[in-house]
Amino acid sequence: MTGPDVTSGTLTEVASTRPRPAHTGTLRAALHARRMLHLKALLVRVERRRARTSSAARRRFERDWGLLERIDADAVRDTVDYPTTGTWLAETLTAADGPRFEEHLARLGGLAVAAAVRAGAHVGGTLAVPSGTLVLPGLGVLGVPSGRARLSGGAGLLRIDDAGGGSGVALRRQPGAGVAPAGEPHGWTALRTLPGGDAVLDDLDPYRVPPAGIGPQGVPGAERPHSAPEAWARRWREARQLLAATDPGRLAEIAALVRAVVPLEPAGRGAGEPMTATLRAAPGAVLAQLPGDAQELAECLVHETHHTKLAVLEGLVPLCRPGAGTLHRVAWRPDPRPVPGVLQGAYAHLALADLWWRARTTGALPPAWRARAAQQFDRYRDEVGGALSVLRDSDELTCAGRKFVRAMSGHHAGLGSMAHSRE
């Protein structure tokens, strides 16, 4: 399976950072093609290394895979494309044969059940849950102390019970893509949906943050009950309002590409700006410490959405080639960056410069937002200009990469013009 073709026009238009629904669709299709390719690679690995995998793990995998094959394709797509499925696949495909690989492999059951819930499919039987926790990506987790979950129901309602008794939940498919518990669940913890869309605050999935944490300090994911859901919901709502008033197209793009916000543990006093990140294996998830206000969150969402866009695009069209690995200074990082890192940062900051230009020239915005725009636009425009100079002089870009950087440079040069503000 291959992803969609990227024309020269698409490449240059994506480079401008401006949101366009057609390109969002192309990126989503590319992400799905990559996920399905990795899922097939997992199937091939299990089949080719049967002798290195225990019979129990093989039987469990075959049953889980069979369940997944029976589910409606749209529901499978929604589950397979969820960000943490990407990190799970990356860790599973690179794990050494043996217990660790089999531990990762067991997650496929939860993925299949999550797809069944979204599809409202009729399924039954017993599912092995060796870890004692059944994780349904993008939905929630159910404690299964016995290690076996019983599945029953259909026609839009799926019941999951611990075979040993004591915990269980009935999940009903809602109109659209929603899922809600029917009746009183026991041992079930649902993800919270952020207001105004379908994105969730994912503070449960064990694959949401790498084992070593995020950044040089190894910041871990925030755990319940310390993930501040009320504060996140409030700032999310306010950030959406700011973006809707400033650049509605960007808000629509974020709604289409961001599936989850992963809260990170807060920094200590005096630690500076909140940390944010996007994992290359999990585009569509924004990992972040709670921003200080809605303005910081709006900026974070634009910034990380462009890391997602570039991560997916580079899976279709390589923009950098292996080179000398030279390092370069950029204004937004204290440490020197390789060329791929310079490109990622320049792209995300170009989107911010574009955002702040529009905020500066759009009326009826909150005064604090307009004041911030006036300060930030000049800063980001200058910083991106320096990074683009590095990229234009680099011999580590592919032909597509050079075209991409030229288009970025053209958009950068136009920032600040009256014609640009009317685009």
Rounded average pLDDT over 326-347: 93
Region 175-195: what's the mean pLDDT? 89
As a whole-number percent, the residues of the chain with pLDDT over 90 amount to: 81
Smallest CA-to-CA distance from 279 within 85, 65, 55 is with 85
- Give which of 268, 269, 263 is closest to 286, Cα–Cα: 263
- Does residue 5 register a pLDDT over 90? no
The more confident residue out of 388 and 375 is 388
pLDDT at res. 176 = 66
Average pLDDT, the chain: 92
Give pLDDT, residue 153. 85
Report d(CA 420, CA 371) in Å as an integer.
20
- Residue 271, pLDDT > 70, answer no
pLDDT at 29 over 70: yes
Q: Which two tokens stand for residue 160?
A: 């999951």
First CA to last CA across the chain, in angstroms?
A: 36
Structure tokens at 74: 């749209």
Sign of CA dihedral 90, 95, 98, 104: negative
- The better pLDDT of the pair 267, 213 is held by 213
Residue 423 scores a pLDDT above 60: no
3-state helix, strand, coil in the chain (%, to 5): 50, 15, 35
pLDDT attached to residue 1 = 45
A 10 A CB-CB count for 136 gives: 29
CA distance 321 to 310: 15
Domain boundaries, the chain: 49-190, 318-423
Query: pLDDT by residue (tens digit) across 69-82?
Result: 999 999 999 999 99
Q: Which two tokens stand for residue 242?
A: 């700011």
- Would the pLDDT of 8 be above 80? yes
Quick check: 368 pLDDT over 70?
A: yes
Whose tokens are 């040089």? That residue is: 216
Range 48-73 average pLDDT: 94
Q: Assess contact for 167 and 202: CB atoms under 8 A.
A: no
Q: What is the mean pLDDT of residues 361-387?
A: 89
Residue 340 in this model has a pLDDT that exceeds 70: yes
pLDDT of residue 58: 96
Element (H, E) at 136: strand 133-136
Contact status, residue 157 vs residue 172, Cβ threshold 8 Å: yes
State both tokens at 64: 């889980």
Average pLDDT for residues 411-417, to the nearest whole number?
88
| pLDDT greater at residue 78 or residue 362 | 78
Query: Is the pLDDT at 380 greater than 90, yes or no?
Result: yes
Strands of the 125-128 sheet, one edge to the other:
125-128, 148-154, 157-162, 168-173, 179-181
Task: Summarize pLDDT for 206-229 with one digit per residue, the tens.
Answer: 999 999 999 888 999 999 999 999
Residue 418 pLDDT: 43
What's the Cα-to-Cα distance from 140 to each of 174, 196, 221, 246, 375, rounded to whole Å?
16, 19, 16, 34, 41
Q: What is the pLDDT, as a whole number, of residue 137?
A: 98
The answer on pLDDT for 150 being more than 70 is yes
Contacts (Cβ under 8 Å, ≥6 apart) of 303: 276, 348, 349, 351, 352
Nearest to 331 by CA among 261, 380, 264: 380
* 286-334 pLDDT tens trace: 999 999 999 999 999 999 999 999 999 998 999 998 876 789 999 988 8
Tokens 């800063």 appear where? 379
- Residue 374 has a pLDDT of 84
> In one letter, which amino acid is 67?
L
For residue 162, CA distances in Å to 25, 128, 146 come to 39, 10, 7
Q: What is the pLDDT averaged over residues 232-247?
A: 96
pLDDT of residue 372: 87
Q: Which pLDDT value is given to residue 2?
A: 53
Who's near 55: CB < 8 A, 6+ residues apart? none
Nearest to 66 by CA among 99, 31, 135, 113: 113
Res. 248: pLDDT tops 50: yes
Half-sphere exposure of 322 toward its Cβ, with a 13 Å CA cutoff? 0
Least confident among 179-183, 310-314, 340-344:
179-183
The percentage of residues in the chain with a pLDDT greater than 70, rounded to a whole number, is 96
Range 381-394 average pLDDT: 95
